[in-house]
Amino acid sequence: MELNENARVDTSQVDDRRGSGGGGGMGIPIPIGGGRGGIVGIIIAVLVALVGGGFGLNAATNGGGSEQGDNTSLEQKCSADDALKQLDCRNTLYVNSIQAYWRTALPEVFGDQYKPSKTVFFSQNVSTGCGSADSGVGPFYCPADDLVYIDLTFYRLLADQLGAEGEFAQPYVLAHEYGHHVQDLLGTEAQMRRQQQRDPQSANTLSVKLELQADCYAGAWAKNATGTSDEQGQKIFKSITDQDIQQAIDTAEKIGDDAIQQRSGRPVNPDEFTHGTSEQRKQWFTKGFSTGDPKACDTFGGSL
Ligand SMILES: [Zn+2]
């Protein structure tokens, strides 16, 4: 993968809250990995006894989610010549590309207007519309405040603890979260929550469908990413290689429910799956990528 060094990093699409935290809120966050506390929580909880389910966020307190970060230093850093050497600037550019894609694709494919969503960079803990979260939950989307949240140190964990190395794991993770934002905009997420309430027994199955669809949307973005541009019309990516796509697929496999359960030393229990197996995550990302068409991501339409 090669990013275009002439592309402008639009920091207005992120909210840099590193260095602040706390608070609480209400709602249901959607983390990248399954199980209690999300993927990182699972890793940390390897030493602790585990039970399935739950989202790891403390939604007991309300309010919050309205904190504002300070983008001053990020803006400075990301307008410098060597901006793309910086992880946070690259991630901002990935967000720019993902949103540029949906700005075109959502009206084209679904006839809906895209509403941008910021990505909040936080460290350790953060106050969100879905409750106060710590890094242990992993990256997530909060439908209550329409924001993506990520502690960028997550990538080190992804590489070190799960062996999902390679730069392209990063845009995959972000594109998955923006997939949830798209589901929120299309009403898919709300519909799925209502279904879960009507039929609690199938709550996990429905969650898997939502997650696999987000993986598929990430694949659709990956296919079209080289066509995305910044506001001045500069291409964001110079190239995306097969190896990059393989890295995204590897990551999707590494964070499959069965893989995470195995890694945590627990027996694999399909009843506890909330995000899909490694095979399913790989398949649906690949479906999105090979078709390049979000319409093909119909995980709710039939068998998975
Ligand atoms: Zn997800």
Distance of alpha carbon 136 from alpha carbon 162, whole angstroms: 14
Q: Do 176 and 289 contact (CB within 8 A), yes or no?
A: no
C-alpha of residue 177 to centroid of ligand 1, in Å:
6
Give the pLDDT band of residue 249 (cuts 50, 70, 90): very high
Interhelix angle 169-186/154-162, rounded to 10 degrees, is: 120
C-alpha of residue 213 to centroid of ligand 1, in Å:
9
C-alpha of residue 275 to centroid of ligand 1, in Å:
7
Give the pLDDT band of residue 162 (cuts 50, 70, 90): confident
Determine the pLDDT at residue 39.
Answer: 56
C-alpha of residue 6 to centroid of ligand 1, in Å:
31
Mean pLDDT of the chain: 88
Among 81-90, 207-216, 253-262, the minimum mean pLDDT is found in 253-262
Determine the pLDDT at residue 45.
Answer: 39
pLDDT digits 0-9 by tens, 24-56: 445 567 777 765 555 555 444 333 222 223 333
Dig out the tokens for 8 from the structure: 């402008």
Q: Which residue has the higher pLDDT, 21 or 303?
A: 303
Q: 175 pLDDT exceeds 50?
A: yes
The distance of Cα 304 from the centroid of its chain, to the nearest Å, equals: 20
C-alpha of residue 80 to centroid of ligand 1, in Å:
33
Give the pLDDT band of residue 254 (cuts 50, 70, 90): very high
C-alpha of residue 5 to centroid of ligand 1, in Å:
30
Average the pLDDT over 273-280 and give the result. Answer: 95
DSSP state of 148: E
C-alpha of residue 238 to centroid of ligand 1, in Å:
28
Residue type for position 301: G
Q: 269 pLDDT exceeds 80?
A: yes
Q: 243 pLDDT exceeds 90?
A: yes
Give the pLDDT band of residue 66 (cuts 50, 70, 90): low
C-alpha of residue 214 to centroid of ligand 1, in Å:
6
C-alpha of residue 76 to centroid of ligand 1, in Å:
31
Q: Which residue has the higher pLDDT, 292 or 64?
A: 292
Average the pLDDT over 181-189 and give the result. Answer: 97
Q: Measuring CA to CA, how many Å separate 247 from each of 22, 146, 203, 289? A: 34, 28, 30, 13
Average the pLDDT over 224-252 and give the result. Answer: 97
Nearest partner of 204 among 304, 301, 290, 276, judged by Cα: 276
Determine the pLDDT at residue 30.
Answer: 77
C-alpha of residue 179 to centroid of ligand 1, in Å:
8
Strands 14-16 and 119-121: parallel
C-alpha of residue 287 to centroid of ligand 1, in Å:
17
C-alpha of residue 232 to centroid of ligand 1, in Å:
31
Average the pLDDT over 271-287 and give the result. Answer: 96
Neighbours of ion ligand 1 (CB under 5 A): 30, 211, 214
C-alpha of residue 209 to centroid of ligand 1, in Å:
10
Q: What is the pTM of this model?
A: 0.88
